[in-house]
Amino acid sequence: MSCLKIDGGKRLYGEIAVHGAKNSILPLLAAAYMCQGQTVLHNCPFLSDVEISLKILEYLGCKCERQGSTLIISPSNSNCFEIPECLMREMRSSIVFMGALLSKMGSCVMSLPGGCELGPRPIDIHIDSLTKLGAVIECNHGFLTCSLPEGIKAAELYLKFPSVGATENIILAAAVSNGTTVIHNAAREPEIEDLALFLNSAGAEINGAGSDTVVINGVNRLNGTEYTVMPDRIIAATCMMATAACKGRICLNNANKNHLIPIISILRDGGTLVDVSDSGLTVTSHFRQHNFGTVTTQPYPGFPTDAGPILVALSSVCKGTGVFIENIFDSRFHYIDELRLLGADIKTVGRVAVITGVKSLVGADVVSHDLRGGAALTVAALAAKGCSIIRKPCYIDRGYQKIEEIFGCLGADIKRTED
């Protein structure tokens, strides 16, 4: 089993380009399955979740080729409309293949999706919305059987919560259809806009993505296309907060400042300098940052739940006390016990964490339990004095391409070794 070994306490200096966003690539690959020509997708890092999506595409009959960070997906002629349980259970976002398969094949069979353990993750909004678009969906013993007896029926939908995955599934299902589908209270995450831009480049007509009202004018077919995936805003946030925790100065060459406004604001309020220019972001931290007061995670454009664990890691070494409230997922605090092993002073009640910053964390042997929690432990270990071991980096590999190289090129002493 591999692990990360970190000799912490080094300041971070250097510049990096942030790789493509996992949470954008996964729905784009489901969209590529619907295209009738070849799709060329640039800026696709090697991430375990991306590789699982490619396995799903290959199972469905697509040919997938990787040339560095470019993926080339050739369309499928297969009649397969079933995804094996072993692939569905590997990650939550496998559920976006439901909209894509319904659109292309008119039916699909799949198990309920898996993914990181963050508490219950129902799919009622997906099912309710696709049903309103004409799908007949049965769920028996953890398996979903879906059909579309009369094709997609355009509809006006209101989401009771702006679910990212449900918004993506609706967009995928309605992109090729007769009529106009409108999503009210849609998720506004940048990854939704990236999906719409990709689909529009393939011939779709989608307006309003990135706002709370998305209008999908169905088209007859999607062509092949060439597209570059947006940079990963959570990786950018991780590097920015790591610099605030470790001190130093880093430049993020291609980060999109508009996607990072809550992070920039919190860092600036705490005393970290963030310069925004046309070429990217520069983060400079010379002193111990002040804690952030109270932060609650919210759907975009609020503070992102995926950056919450990293903020808690930073907060652990700030001056004063911070209160962090996780508002999106029920159970996202598994990493906090491990942060305590590194010397963090954190009390939790339900979804609330109260963090009293300590002057310095100390190296420890800790275990990742999920993707962002693992990244938070890495940031804490980079800031801690002494050596740490992070076990099960396989979770981190779901969303960060070689985290040891990301921080290694910023001057951190971090290596992947076998146990």
Nearer to ligand EPZ, 52 or 414 (CB): 52
Nearer to ligand EPZ, 23 or 401 (CB): 23
Closest approach, Cβ 165 to ligand EPZ, in A, equals 3
Closest approach, Cβ 103 to ligand EPZ, in A, equals 18
Nearer to ligand EPZ, 116 or 222 (CB): 116
Long-range contacts of 276-280 (CB under 8 A, 24+ apart): 279/251, 279/253, 280/251, 280/252, 280/253, 280/254, 280/255
Closest approach, Cβ 115 to ligand EPZ, in A, equals 7
Nearer to ligand EPZ, 321 or 348 (CB): 348
Closest approach, Cβ 379 to ligand EPZ, in A, equals 15
Residue pair 306/346 in contact (Cβ under 8 Å)? The answer is no
Closest Cα to residue 339, out of 316, 356, 320? 316
Nearer to ligand EPZ, 166 or 342 (CB): 166
273, two tokens: 């300098």
Q: Which residue is nearest to ligand EPZ (CB)?
A: 165
Nearer to ligand EPZ, 68 or 120 (CB): 120
DSSP letter at 36?
Answer: S
165, two tokens: 């995955």
Residues of the shown chain interacting with ligand EPZ in the complex, contacts defined by CB under 6 A: 23, 26, 92-93, 116, 121-126, 161, 163-166, 187, 305-306, 328-329, 371-372, 399
Work out whether the CA dihedral 162, 259, 118, 137 comes out positive or negative: positive
234, two tokens: 């959570």
Closest approach, Cβ 107 to ligand EPZ, in A, equals 20
Residue type for 18, please?
Answer: V
Indicate which residue of 116, 246, 251, 318 is catalytic: 116
Closest approach, Cβ 102 to ligand EPZ, in A, equals 16
Angle between helices 22-34 and 190-201 (to 10 degrees): 30
Nearer to ligand EPZ, 306 or 404 (CB): 306
Residue pair 419/389 in contact (Cβ under 8 Å)? The answer is no
Residues linked to residue 139 through DSSP beta bridges, in sequence order: 144
Q: Which ranges constitute the DSSP H helices of 227-295?
A: 233-246, 261-270
Residues comprising the chain, all counted: 419
Is 116 one of the catalytic residues? yes
**Number of alpha carbons in the 13 Å side-chain half-sphere of residue 372:** 26
Name the E strands within 88-224.
107-111, 136-140, 143-147, 156-158, 180-184, 205-207, 213-217
Residue pair 82/110 in contact (Cβ under 8 Å)? The answer is yes
∠176-177-183 over CA atoms, to 5°? 90
Convert 199-214 to b/e letters by CB count within 10 Å (16 or more is b): bbbbbbebebbbeeeb
Residues annotated as catalytic are: 116
